[in-house]
Amino acid sequence: MTSSFPHRPTMVVVTGAAGFIGSHLVQGLLDNGLEVVGIDRRTPETDAIARLNLRDVTGHPRFSLFSGDLSFVSLNLLVRDAACVFHLSAIPAVRASWAEFERYVTANVMATQRLLDACVQEGVSKVVYASASSVYGPAEAPSGENDPAQPISPYGITKLAGEQLCLAYAKRPASRLSVTALRYFTVYGPRQRPDMAISRILAAALAGEPFVIFGDGTQRRDFTYVGDVVAATIAAADIEVPATVINVGGGSSISVSDIIAMARTVTGNPVPLTAGAAQAGDVPATAADLSLARVLLGFQPRIDLQTGMTRHAQWLQKLPADLLRTYGPPPTTDQDQSAPDSPH
Ligand code: NAD
């Protein structure tokens, strides 16, 4: 998507703009000449990370950030005139969703419904929704979009509900809203959330602190570099299929043991390990069938694991010491640091 008006850039909205993937998407959209309105909520716990994530785009003449919670603020004025709404805000992570289901339902389902209502009322024609591989549940072979969705975590259930809600709005009679739901497979790269495995493994290697492996290290994930995810997400704004779901993955399934070995290669340091029990909601493996993404989005993952983890480690190395500690604190039971990341 590029700006079609030389004097008035096309405006798009990104929810979850201060988050890991959202902040990269904002940068990608600005690079394409668009005007970007970001929406995110501020909390004392996440403020330092949000500021860090948005450091490169703060002050950009085509970027503005609205601080507010999608569950409460009036959204109509914000989405009015948007050529596309990229809906990335959600509470992510599998493990905490067992204990905090109501919070997940509010942020991931109810807020999505409020946003969709505002989009319909304001005549927005396109929504791109950030769905997740965790909607699939356990799978033997690469998951295709027509395979059954059988999430095994409360988080996965809320992501599936949000996705299906989007599709239901798009399929309503006389609907003018087109929705593309992208099922992201475990995303990594600079600014990856500090609760996620690659961040924690790299931070452990850099700080010489132990990484707790939940399970035996044979769990496999389809890891996707964040720049590839941004490319797919921007491409999704332009496809004309009215209601569709598309996988976005890195193209290979890699075990946590491989990630630990790669962390050693890219940092030059060993990763101290501590054993932990396998966690509820973690599936043994994820892998994406990317056939549809290739056809509809022209998608091809470009960044291999070594290149992506090298960039990720370089970014961590530049963090001030107090923030590096945020990325590698001692494990607690409610953080998503399985081996590798929970399915997402
Ligand atoms: P993140 O936590 O870094 O970003 C999410 C942002 O949404 C945060 O900045 C948060 O403050 C904001 N937010 C949450 N609820 C909100 C609300 N009610 N109102 C306003 N803002 C709110 O997460 P991320 O890893 O960047 O994930 C982005 C999206 O991608 C999520 O929808 C997630 O479910 C999905 N996803 C992520 C991954 C992954 O590997 N990171 C994989 C699959 C899917």
CATH assignment of the domain containing 279: 3.90.25.10
How far apart CA 276 and CA 214 sit, in angstroms, is 4
Ligand 1 pocket member 181 (CB < 6 A): no
Helices (H) and strands (E) in the chain — how many of each? 12, 13
Which residue in the list 104, 129, 136, 155 is annotated as catalytic?
Answer: 155
Residue of minimum CA distance from atom 13 in ligand 1: 89
Task: Quick: pLDDT tens for 5-36.
Answer: 455 689 999 999 999 999 999 999 999 999 99
Q: Residue 82 — left, alpha, or beta (φ > 0 → left; ψ -120 to 50 → alpha)?
A: beta
What is the whole-number distance in angstroms between the Cα of residue 108 and the centre of ligand 1? 9
How far apart CA 86 and CA 15 sit, in angstroms, is 6
pLDDT at 48 over 50: yes
Do 55 and 163 lie in one domain? The reply is yes
Residue 332 in any domain: the answer is: no
- pLDDT bracket for residue 180 (50, 70, 90): very high
Task: Quick: pLDDT tens for 122-179.
Answer: 999 999 999 999 999 888 789 999 999 999 999 999 999 999 999 999 999 999 999 9
Query: Would you call 212 helix, strand, or coil by DSSP?
Result: strand
Give me the pLDDT at residue 11, please.
97
Residue 259 in any domain: the answer is: yes
Do 58 and 162 lie in one domain? The reply is yes
* Confidence (pTM): 0.94
Give me the pLDDT at residue 217, please.
86
Which atom from ligand 1 is nearest to the alpha carbon of 69?
Answer: 19
What is the whole-number distance in angstroms between the Cα of residue 173 and the centre of ligand 1? 30
Give me the pLDDT at residue 338, please.
38
Do 103 and 235 lie in one domain? The reply is yes
Q: Which domain holds residue 24?
A: 11-186+224-248
The residue with greater pLDDT, 10 or 282, is 10
How many structural domains are present in the chain? 2
Mean pLDDT of 49-71: 96
Residue 1 in any domain: the answer is: no
How far apart CA 309 and CA 122 sit, in angstroms, is 41
Give me the pLDDT at residue 9, please.
83
Residue 341 in any domain: the answer is: no
101 Cβ neighbours under 8 A, 6+ residues apart: 154, 158
What is the whole-number distance in angstroms between the Cα of residue 7 and the centre of ligand 1? 32
Q: How many CA atoms lie within 13 A of 3 on its CB side?
A: 18
Note if 155 is an active site residue: yes
Residue found under tokens 């970007």: 36
Ligand 1 pocket member 147 (CB < 6 A): no
Do 150 and 262 lie in one domain? The reply is no
Residue 153 in any domain: the answer is: yes
Residue 53 to residues 17, 19, 57, 166, 315: CA-CA distances in angstroms? 9, 7, 9, 27, 11
Task: Quick: pLDDT tens for 305-331.
Answer: 999 999 999 999 998 877 777 776 444
Do 195 and 244 lie in one domain? The reply is no
Which atom from ligand 1 is nearest to the alpha carbon of 68?
Answer: 20
| CATH code where residue 158 lies | 3.40.50.720
Do 228 and 256 lie in one domain? The reply is no
Ligand 1 pocket member 71 (CB < 6 A): yes
Q: Rounded to 10 degrees, what is the CA torsion of 228, 259, 211, 196?
A: 20
Residue ranges of alpha helices (H) inside the chain are 20-31, 47-53, 76-79, 101-105, 111-121, 154-171, 197-207, 226-236, 256-267, 291-297, 305-317, 321-327
Give me the pLDDT at residue 321, please.
77
pLDDT at 289 over 90: yes
Do 124 and 38 lie in one domain? The reply is yes
- pLDDT bracket for residue 275 (50, 70, 90): confident
Residue 32 in any domain: the answer is: yes
- pLDDT bracket for residue 99 (50, 70, 90): very high
Give me the pLDDT at residue 8, please.
65
Do 36 and 118 lie in one domain? The reply is yes
Do 101 and 162 lie in one domain? The reply is yes
Residue 60 in any domain: the answer is: yes
Do 170 and 215 lie in one domain? The reply is no
Amino acid at 35: E
Q: Rounded to 10 degrees, what is the CA torsion of 338, 339, 341, 344?
A: -80
Do 207 and 152 lie in one domain? The reply is no
Query: Would you call 1 helix, strand, or coil by DSSP?
Result: coil
Ligand 1 pocket member 166 (CB < 6 A): no
How far apart CA 212 and CA 274 sit, in angstroms, is 5
Residue of minimum CA distance from atom 1 in ligand 1: 19
Residue of minimum CA distance from atom 33 in ligand 1: 92
Residue of minimum CA distance from atom 35 in ligand 1: 130
The residue with greater pLDDT, 334 or 76, is 76
Ligand 1 pocket member 83 (CB < 6 A): no
Amino acid at 337: Q
Task: Quick: pLDDT tens for 209-264.
Answer: 899 888 888 889 999 999 999 999 999 999 988 999 999 999 999 999 999 999 99
DSSP letter, residue 80: T
Ligand 1 pocket member 132 (CB < 6 A): yes
CB 2 within 8 A of CB 33: yes
Do 170 and 136 lie in one domain? The reply is yes
Residue 181 in any domain: the answer is: yes
